[in-house]
Amino acid sequence: MIRIVNEDTPLFILDTEDTSYLFKVTATGHPEHLYYGAKITADSSDGLTECHEFAEGNTNAVDDEHKNFTLENMRLEISSYGKGDIREPMIELTNSDGSFTVDLRYDSYELSKGKKEPEDFPGSYGAEDEVDVLKIVMKDKENNLQLDMFYYVYPKCNVITRKCVLTNHGDGRVIIDRLMSMLMDFDNGSYTMHTFTGAWTREMHKSDIPVKAGKTVVSSYTGTSSSRANPLVMISEGIANEEYGKVYGFNLIYSGNHYECCEMSPYGKVRFVAGINPSGFRWTLEKEECFETPEEVMTFSREGFGKMSHNMHDFVNTHIVRGEWKERLRPILLNSWEASYFDINESKLVNLARIAKKIGIELFVMDDGWFGTRDDDTSSLGDWYANKKKLPGGLKGLCSKIKKLGLDFGIWVEPEMVNEKSELYRSHPDWVIAIPGKPHSKGRNQMILDLTRSGVQEYIIDTMTRILSSCDISYIKWDMNRTFTDIFSSALPADRQGEVIHRYYMGLYHVMNVITKKFPKVLFEGCAAGGNRFDLGILSYFPQIWASDDTDPVVRAEIQTSYSYGYPPSTISCHVSDSPNHQTLRRTHSTTRFNVAAFGVLGYESNLMDMRKEQLEGYKKQIECYKEWRQTMQYGRFYRIMSFADSLSDTHSVITPTTGKHLEWCVVSEDKKTALSMILQIMVIPNSQTAVIHPAGLDPDMRYSLNNRELSYSILDFGSLVNTAAPVHIRADGHNHHLLDKFIRMPGEKESHIMYGDAIMNAGVHLKSGFAAVGYDDQVRFYQDYSSRIYILRSEENDNGNDQQDHKDNG
Ligand code: DGJ
């Protein structure tokens, strides 16, 4: 809800269910930020306004009429250089006379309701009863500029988004060097900036950076939102954890270069700005042209990081993801990449699909290698015709065989790219982002198509239309495997080269919009060498994204934990792959690989043809389990209860920093009648029998049954200890040991408890004894390095009860 109190100048009150955001217009016409935080009752700015009776020494008065008014230490909604504010500005530009000063003053406001679904540029959307809109019009009369600042208030999700549009009403051209989406000034205080940086196969490393004097910046400069620095940023005030404390969440609805900066001024005030990265950006506005920024999402929670994430999750599921896949269950897929990389052919794929069908997979996805002469990554991007040697019946032939097996069919594409070794490049060498006549630095042997050109956009739309119309394709994995270098478009003049990246995204979003509208039933999954473009811009068109090329469950657990701060499980694509893992060579149990992947959109990426019967049986049971709880796994309330980083404990003085690191997640159905809880440890703690879990988000008054997803173990896992039970001596790992393994499995522990929700959450559930080298029976928890468990909680009122025996996993 938005309220306006007309004092001498207006006071704007933007309320969501649990938060309030207030600013007012000063006598000078500057929007002064008053408050953002937990919901408050206010009918005036009394007591919320800072007092600046006299201008601070050595600062500049904004004008002669207001000698005590200086911008350097004000809390503002917008700031620019030239009138005394020397902190990070929201706007930097060069006026037509060469000056840099921008002096925007309040002009008027407009209120409206509802926000349309985005078309050629991503953004949030909502019906009239879901979103209130405030537009503040600011004018710089000296330079004939107008800045429209938009606030979109989503009360239910406790989210406010901001963006602005700058229009040049002057006769001359204006050059924009920076136009951020939002700026917020916090009161003096103790703040921590939480960022997510990383690299390929290790995306989303969370850093907690105390905000001190000076600036802390995260930004991407790869031409993508990037694995180097996700646009998701949080700021906490004072002490905050998952359940307590003040936490602000911010995210940009954009896939290009972004910039987030926290600055503590010499007065101790903290300013946060976010938007398009000004580095490499320069935009010319001719007379009556305008420039629109992407939207920045803001949320606040005074119940810690957990509630902040829940706000973000609700917002993304309801006001970002759209189309037929909005709030719809996602299929379980098998992807061919790690099963055979480029070495694919029809019979191999059909054999793989046949087994996939038997274990319960619903969608078969052919990854890279199916087109042109693509046998490795040196050629064929751009030649989107099936390789007839590999697929004699073309896409159609393979598709009909897969469909006959009872599976849906999907394919991998990378439409934004071209290899020099391709028909497309030979026909259109000018269609790439490159500086003519100068050497080009390539990534993965490929070049980026110049999507600023409408001809290139049309080519991609036509190509995708042809492919998607050629047979019954239900799913597209849309990849993008390199970052930008030598940024230049031959379609733009020399003085507009600073516009290339942003124009590229305008082109890409147009393409994505047209294709997703043309093929609304197709499930699109974004991908960019894993998580190099995991952002709300992509999610505005594609409902899910491949989170990382790393499928090692231990690494993934950390990566998925980090994504969960801002992105709901329904958007995070996760696969069970082989062990040893192809990215880390780490060996892990299939159970752990499943347990981690199940807390997102589950898929498989394994060579099923090489698997033993028992392994396939294990996968089958996993898939059955996931199908049963899929609604909760994909759309339930997700809780981070413990992360590896937080679990470092000095209570066990004998353990090293790695031993004992563990993680705990929980996901709870909307009606709270079902919950699934997962624990995972990195390294075993010796002589440690006791353990307790704390599932969260339950109804305190409901009685729940809690059972583990039961496991059984290979006797090979016990090595020579097998002799403590065997009547004859068995050589560890020898022939007899392996022979016995075919017939004997060691039963895992059975957890079975009936408890009230409040007891489970507060007292915790004390688990069966962990293995501690003093005995083993079916009451002992076999909990080794990289072990994990899923516990299923069902309310006694839940008539959807199920027998856990159905889900016995062969590990
Ligand atoms: C990078 C993706 O992230 C992988 O999953 C796979 O699709 C390869 N590209 C194919 O080239």
Tokens 């929670």 -> residue = 301
Asked whether 148 and 78 are in contact (CB, 8 A), the reply is no
CA angle 251, 255, 260 (to 5 degrees): 40
Residue 568: exposure state from Cβ atoms within 10 A (0-12, 13-18, ≥19) = buried
Q: Distance, CA 236 to ligand 1 centroid (Å)?
A: 36
Q: Report how far residue 220's alpha carbon sits from residue 513's, in angstroms, rounded to the nearest whole number.
A: 24
575-633 pLDDT, tens digit each:
999 999 999 999 999 999 999 999 999 999 999 999 999 999 999 999 999 999 999 99
CA angle 210, 213, 219 (to 5 degrees): 65
pLDDT of 805: 37
Q: Closest ligand 1 atom to the C-alpha of 530?
A: 3
Average pLDDT over residues 533-558: 98
Extract the tokens encoding 528: 């960019």
Q: Report how far residue 57's alpha carbon sits from residue 193's, in angstroms, rounded to the nearest whole number.
A: 30
pLDDT of 811: 46
| Residue 523 parent element (H or E) | strand 523-526
Average pLDDT over residues 109-127: 97
CA 519 to chain centre: 24
Which of these, 294, 309, 224, lies nearest to 531 by C-alpha position? 224
404-445 pLDDT, tens digit each:
999 999 999 999 999 999 999 999 999 999 999 999 999 999
38-60 pLDDT, tens digit each:
999 999 999 999 999 999 999 99
297-325 pLDDT, tens digit each:
999 999 999 999 999 999 999 999 999 99
Integer CA distances (angstroms), 603 to 40, 349, 540, 591, 630, in order: 45, 16, 22, 14, 12
Extract the tokens encoding 742: 């075919």
- 610 Cβ partners below 8 Å, 6+ apart? none
Q: Closest ligand 1 atom to the C-alpha of 412?
A: 7
Q: Closest ligand 1 atom to the C-alpha of 546?
A: 3
Tell me the average pLDDT of the chain: 95
Q: Which residue has the higher pLDDT, 281 or 685?
A: 281
Q: Distance, CA 530 to ligand 1 centroid (Å)?
A: 7
The pocket around ligand 1, CB under 6 angstroms, is made up of 337, 367-368, 412, 479, 481, 527, 529-530, 546, 549
- For 627-657, b/e burial (b = at least 16 CB within 10 A) is ebbbebbbbbbbbbbbbbebeeeeeeeebee
* pLDDT score of 807 more than 50: no
Range scoring the smallest mean pLDDT among 123-137, 466-480, 705-719: 705-719
* pLDDT score of 653 more than 60: no
334-344 pLDDT, tens digit each:
999 999 999 99
* pLDDT score of 808 more than 50: no
* pLDDT score of 651 more than 70: no
Q: Report how far residue 668's alpha carbon sits from residue 639's, in angstroms, rounded to the nearest whole number.
A: 8
pLDDT of 649: 54
pLDDT of 617: 95
Task: Report CA Rg, the chain.
Answer: 28
pLDDT of 654: 52
Residue closest by Cα to atom 6 of ligand 1: 337
Which of these, 801, 755, 782, lies nearest to 628 by C-alpha position? 801
Q: Report how far residue 390's alpha carbon sits from residue 415's, in angstroms, rounded to the nearest whole number.
A: 20
Residue closest by Cα to atom 11 of ligand 1: 368
Substitution site in 527, 545, 583 for ligand 1 pocket (most atoms within 8 Å of beta carbon): 527
Q: Distance, CA 332 to ligand 1 centroid (Å)?
A: 18
Residue closest by Cα to atom 5 of ligand 1: 549
Q: Report how far residue 431's alpha carbon sits from residue 429's, in angstroms, rounded to the nearest whole number.
A: 6
The percent of residues above 70 in pLDDT, for the chain, comes to: 97
- 385 Cβ partners below 8 Å, 6+ apart? 371, 372
* pLDDT score of 467 more than 50: yes
Asked whether 571 and 262 are in contact (CB, 8 A), the reply is no
pLDDT of 803: 35
pLDDT of 710: 86
Residue closest by Cα to atom 2 of ligand 1: 529
- For 138-150, b/e burial (b = at least 16 CB within 10 A) is bbbeebbbbbbbb
Average pLDDT over residues 749-766: 97
Q: Report how far residue 135's alpha carbon sits from residue 148's, in angstroms, rounded to the nearest whole number.
A: 6
Whether pTM > 0.85 for this model: the answer is yes
Whether 552 is a known active-site residue: answer no
Whether 733 is a known active-site residue: answer no
* pLDDT score of 215 more than 70: yes
Q: Which of 450, 535, 549, 578 is catalytic?
A: 549
- 612 Cβ partners below 8 Å, 6+ apart? none
